[in-house]
Amino acid sequence: MCGIVGYVGDQPALEVVMQGLRRLEYRGYDSAGVAVLSPDGQLVRERKAGKLANLDKLVSATPMPGTLAIGHTRWATHGAPTDANAHPHLDCTNEVAVVHNGTIENYEVLVDGLERRGHVRRSETDTEVVAHLVEERFSAGPTAGDLPATVRSICRDLEGSFVLVISHRSEPDLVVAARRNLPLVVGLGEGENFVGSDVTAFIAHTRRARAVDQDQVVEVRRGGVRITDLDGVEVAGESYHVDWDTAAAEKGGYDFFMLKEIDEQPQAVRDTLGGRLREDGLLHLDELSMSDEDVRGIEQVFIVACGSSYHSGLLGKYAIERWCRLPVQVEMASEFRYRDPVLGRNTLVIAISQSGETADTLEAVRHARGQKAWVLAVTNTLGSTISRESDAALYTRAGPEVAVASTKAVIAQITAMYVVGLYLAQVRGTRDADEVRSHMRDLSELPDLIAEVLTRMEPVRALARELKDSPRVLFLGRHVGYPIALEGALKLKELAYVSAEGFPAGEIKHGPIALIEPGTPVVVIAPRHALQAKLINNVQEVRARGARTIVIATDGDDSVTPYADVVLRIPDTKSLLTPLLTILPLQVLSAEFARALGLDVDQPRNLAKSVTVE
Ligand code: F6R
């Protein structure tokens, strides 16, 4: 939540920072702002409530020369999304500019002290205290005149989570950044350097990056970058190469990122499977970092995640229970640790997170590690906090996902969970080698099947346009169709602001059927599998009460057609793998539904892609 960028180099800094903010806008879009250090040594700030386009308009009318700048795109926590609360925030003397991602939990105490000492607060944000603290500690006392030391001393006094990027008008060759709990990456260039919430902030300029650890402070100068801990001791660290380029972070001719990302799903699955097969057709999963003996010793599995990643976790449960005969519990990360779950050395906890930064999932990881469980992160983001704080990390390889609503990352997570399930089964011997090989062959066929389904989306688009005025849509599924029903409903809610709910089809009689009125659209996920006969009964039940039934069915299967007002077809595959196909029409349905309503498909209201507050 919130995107931050800092730049020092020889290019016009405003353009570099605005370009970075455009890429980070998915992290929050309530307001945005920049501060540029002008050639005459003034911090020139512009900020505007609303999407980045508003700031863009403002800065294109204002010359802001300078080669050092910081910028911010906000998801409001403290203070409404107004111009006055937009970052950067300045101190009383306009010598310090601060952008911040996170929440400073003890800001009220700090504000009291600052106000008593004569500072005047000009916003309702927690962030502004940092600007005033820099003003005080840079002008007098033990850290006077030393901006990195000033920032280190302030970090020691802050409680909560933060990434701060700070510039001072007397430091024309220095941007200082600090992080606790939230993401911060350094971009290493030639004669220029960057900081950002993620690598997309600077990918147009450099693909060399360096991660920043907990409670570290970064000094970014034109000639180089120095990272220290809070005692000022320099820390060693390796840079890494980002192996995707700017095209991956651009729309490439699509109207929305989400539509492009939906079409990238065959590749996301292919890349997530890639390199994990041995020559003999079995799996290797060195990323799990567990000895075979430890894998055999696992007694229970917990999967923790939020939102769509939680739905991927539910599918992981079906796979692991079926193939490994291990008990699996799937928990919403926001509830997990408060329930005080019973974990121990023989517990495997799998934390699924696209961003690798979700606060609740991160806290669940910390809790699980505190209880001595072995934690595997399944994440799409190299070097993310969750991957770094887990015992092991398995990367999905979906590439950067920009649209707030997750699509290709989810399909990659489901794939990764199936790989984990098969690997555990292989090592524990609960499935013999031939069966593991055969499941892997089936999985390897999925990218082509996904591509095929994506060529069949025109009727789904037409359907979305037809349904766009429906106030409520229900989704039903059984077995692995149930998490997909939940996912279909979540996508429609978040994108089209329509009341949508997903249910296990068997539950509908226990209450939800009362929601059905003549014409209520009910989407039923009904590919050919063992429970289909029961599902057909459920379709009949809702149809008898006036529902308009939209059924996702397998090619050539006509058992559902008599009860369906609309049939959407998918090719045949093994029952456990059907989610990788049935999810596709639901993604397209929600995107087109939102589009038909004239909504912003990539940036739904009130949301942010990476939820870094609890
Ligand atoms: C829905 C969606 C969210 C995320 C959730 C978890 O489309 O994108 O529900 O799945 O916020 O995010 P990660 O996976 O980054 O932890």
Question: pLDDT tier at 76 (50, 70, 90 boundaries)?
Answer: confident
Report strand pairing: 521-525 vs 472-477: parallel
Question: pLDDT tier at 249 (50, 70, 90 boundaries)?
Answer: confident
397 vs 529, residue with greater confidence: 397
Measure the CA–CA gap between 461 and 439, rounded to whole angstroms. Answer: 32
Measure the CA–CA gap between 32 and 64, rounded to whole angstroms. Answer: 16
User: Can you say whether residue 356 is alpha, beta or left, with left for phi > 0 and alpha for psi between -120 and 50 degrees?
Assistant: left
Q: Confirm or reject: Cβ of 354 under 6 Å from ligand 1.
A: yes
| pLDDT > 90: percent of the chain | 85
Q: 251-444 has which CATH code?
A: 3.40.50.10490
The CATH class that applies to domain 455-596 reads alpha beta
Q: How far is the CA of 297 from the centre of ligand 1 (A)?
A: 31
Measure the CA–CA gap between 528 and 612, rounded to whole angstroms. Answer: 40
Q: How far is the CA of 312 from the centre of ligand 1 (A)?
A: 10
Q: Do domains 3-248 and 455-596 have the same CATH topology?
A: no
The terminus-to-terminus CA distance of the chain in angstroms comes to 11
CATH architecture for residues 3-248: 4-Layer Sandwich (3.60)
Q: How far is the CA of 180 from the centre of ligand 1 (A)?
A: 21
At residue 606, the pLDDT reads 84
pLDDT in tens, 436-495: 999 999 999 999 999 999 999 999 999 999 999 999 999 999 999 999 999 999 999 999
- What's the token pair of residue 488? 């279909």
At residue 529, the pLDDT reads 81
What is 258-312 written as a DSSP string?
HHHHHHTHHHHHHHHHTT-B-TTS-B--GGG---HHHHHH--EEEEEE-HHHHHH
How many other C-beta atoms are found inside a 10 Å radius of the C-beta of residue 613? 17
Domain ranges of the chain: 3-248, 251-444, 455-596
The single-letter code of the amino acid at 497 is: Y
Average pLDDT, the chain: 94
Kindly state the average pLDDT of the residues 189-204. Answer: 95
Pocket test residue of 75, 182, 350, 358 for ligand 1, highest count of atoms within 8 A of CB: 358
Q: Confirm or reject: Cβ of 355 under 6 Å from ligand 1.
A: yes
Nearest to 284 by CA among 446, 102, 87, 424: 424
At residue 340, the pLDDT reads 87
Q: Confirm or reject: Cβ of 407 under 6 Å from ligand 1.
A: no
Q: Confirm or reject: Cβ of 307 under 6 Å from ligand 1.
A: yes
Question: pLDDT tier at 404 (50, 70, 90 boundaries)?
Answer: very high
Is the model's pLDDT at 116 over the cut of 90?
yes
Measure the CA–CA gap between 302 and 347, rounded to whole angstroms. Answer: 7
Kindly state the average pLDDT of the residues 288-313. Answer: 97
